[in-house]
């Protein structure tokens, strides 16, 4: 089975899914809010928080484009929400002091360099950068694991990014994603996870989801998703373009507990477990007499049937085999028939 490792945490189908709480820019540039969200995520047992690293002048040119989930330009949003390097270092130290993995998505070369200088253990590449091959090449040169989101991309464009990662021998994971905010359930397309496994068999797969609930993430586990990412906030009354699609602490806790339970339930084959024997004892049916019988009498529907419990020597699945045999001794009604009670069969 494929696996990658980040800060000692092994990730792959043999392990419980890694749940990433995407804080992103839900802090709105306010460090105290970011601190609050890290603490809240840690409190409910989250292993990983993720931010976004924006160095505006290296990321974009001035523009007035307004994202579909906002009412102001992307330039204004990022200028307001960008954190300084010192602020990001503070947040990284806090997360790691609580035993959590700190990740951040760099949106530029300068942002990637900052994160590398900060000593991040891995890089998360956002969907918008999935086909930004110069940036992916730059990040791959650091030699650290990469988690690649793939919203707004198809298998062809993803393959070119994966080729770069393979050429640099980078451990990587691919997250299926739909870049619609929020994503209607009928646009999540979980079967795409099967395509990713088929086309990139050397990759860990996961889901970065923007729908309004945990259901797609839960279902993704059964498709083999080893990473589950959703936006996260402490308070859904806060302002911000991603708040609507964010889970709160109770939903985060439910996602962690639920995904682990589903992962535990996945393994196995359709056979009989030893632990089922106590139920078998009362739930199975044994072949019994339904009236007194005499030695030499022929077993038929008139004198035998199947009844609980399943503690008899001959169970119901052998019923047809005993018909027309003869009893070897007298029996009363409601006796479980043993092998010695009938002719051999």
Element (H, E) at 198: helix 192-199
For 57-91, write each residue's pLDDT tens digit: 999 999 988 887 777 899 988 999 999 999 999 99
- Say which CATH topology domain 274-341 has: Type Iii Antifreeze Protein Isoform Hplc 12 (3.90.1210)
DSSP string for 117-152: HHT-S-EEE-GGGTT-HHHHHHHHTT---EEEE-TT
Could you give the C-alpha distances from 133 to 67, 104, 200, 332, in angstroms and in order? 23, 18, 18, 84
For 135-168, write each residue's pLDDT tens digit: 999 999 999 999 999 999 999 999 999 999 999 9
Is residue 211 a contact partner of residue 183, using CB atoms and an 8 Å limit? yes
Is residue 74 a contact partner of residue 63, using CB atoms and an 8 Å limit? yes
Is residue 304 a contact partner of residue 269, using CB atoms and an 8 Å limit? no
Q: How many Cα atoms within 13 Å fall on the side-chain side of residue 86?
A: 0
CA distance 162 to 82: 29
The pLDDT score that the predictor gives to residue 70 is: 75
CA distance 331 to 291: 8
Written as six digits, the tokens of 283 are 């739930």
CA distance 328 to 70: 86
Asked if the model's pLDDT at residue 23 lies above 70, the reply is yes
The pLDDT score that the predictor gives to residue 64 is: 85
The pLDDT score that the predictor gives to residue 343 is: 93
CATH 3.90.1210.10 domain extents, the chain: 274-341
Which of helix, strand or coil describes residue 210? coil
Instruction: Tell me how crowded residue 296 is: count the other CB atoms within 10 A of its CB.
Output: 10
Is residue 12 a contact partner of residue 204, using CB atoms and an 8 Å limit? yes
- Tell me which residue has tokens 């729908």: 211
For 246-256, write each residue's pLDDT tens digit: 999 999 999 99
Cα 46–chain centre separation: 13
Residue 234 banded pLDDT, cuts 50, 70, 90: very high
CATH 3.20.20.70 domain extents, the chain: 11-266
Element (H, E) at 194: helix 192-199
Instruction: Tell me how crowded residue 106 is: count the other CB atoms within 10 A of its CB.
Output: 27
Three-state SS string over 63-74 comes to CCCCCCCCCCCH
CA distance 197 to 303: 58
Cα 291–chain centre separation: 57
Residue 1 banded pLDDT, cuts 50, 70, 90: low
Domain 11-266 has CATH 2.60.120.260: no
CA distance 202 to 208: 19
């Amino acid at each position: 089975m494929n696996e990658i490792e980040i800060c000692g945490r092994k990730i792959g189908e043999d392990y419980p899914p890694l749940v990433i709480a995407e804080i992103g820019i839900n802090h709105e540039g306010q460090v105290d809010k970011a601190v609050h969200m890290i603490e809240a995520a840690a409190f409910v047992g989250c292993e990983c928080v993720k931010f976004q690293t924006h160095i505006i002048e290296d990321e974009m040119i001035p523009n007035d484009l307004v994202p579909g989930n906002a009412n102001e330009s992307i330039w204004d949003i990022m200028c307001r929400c960008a954190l300084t390097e010192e602020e990001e270092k503070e947040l990284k130290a806090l997360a790691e002091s609580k035993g959590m993995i700190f990740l951040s998505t760099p949106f530029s070369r300068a942002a990637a360099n900052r994160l590398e200088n900060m000593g991040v253990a891995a890089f998360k590449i956002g969907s918008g950068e999935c086909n930004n091959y110069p940036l992916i090449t730059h990040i791959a040169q650091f030699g650290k694991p990469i988690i690649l989101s793939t919203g707004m991309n198809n298998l062809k464009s993803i393959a070119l990014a994966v080729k770069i990662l393979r050429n640099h021998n980078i451990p990587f994971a691919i997250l299926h994603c739909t870049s619609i905010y929020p994503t209607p359930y009928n646009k999540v397309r979980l079967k795409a996870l099967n395509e990713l496994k088929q086309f990139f068999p050397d990759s860990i797969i996961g889901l970065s989801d923007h729908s309004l609930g945990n259901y797609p993430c839960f279902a993704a586990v059964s498709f083999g998703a080893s990473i589950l990412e959703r936006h996260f906030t402490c308070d859904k009354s806060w302002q911000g373009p991603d708040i609507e699609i964010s889970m709160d602490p109770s939903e985060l806790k439910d996602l962690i507990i639920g995904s682990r339970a589903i992962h535990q339930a996945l393994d196995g084959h359709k056979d009989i477990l030893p632990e089922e024997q106590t139920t078998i004892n009362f739930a199975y049916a044994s072949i019994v007499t339904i009236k007194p019988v005499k030695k030499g009498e022929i077993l038929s529907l008139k004198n035998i049937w199947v009844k609980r419990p399943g503690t008899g020597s001959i169970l119901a699945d052998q019923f047809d085999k005993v018909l027309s045999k003869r009893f070897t001794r007298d029996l009363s009604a409601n006796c479980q028939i043993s092998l010695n009670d009938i002719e051999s069969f």
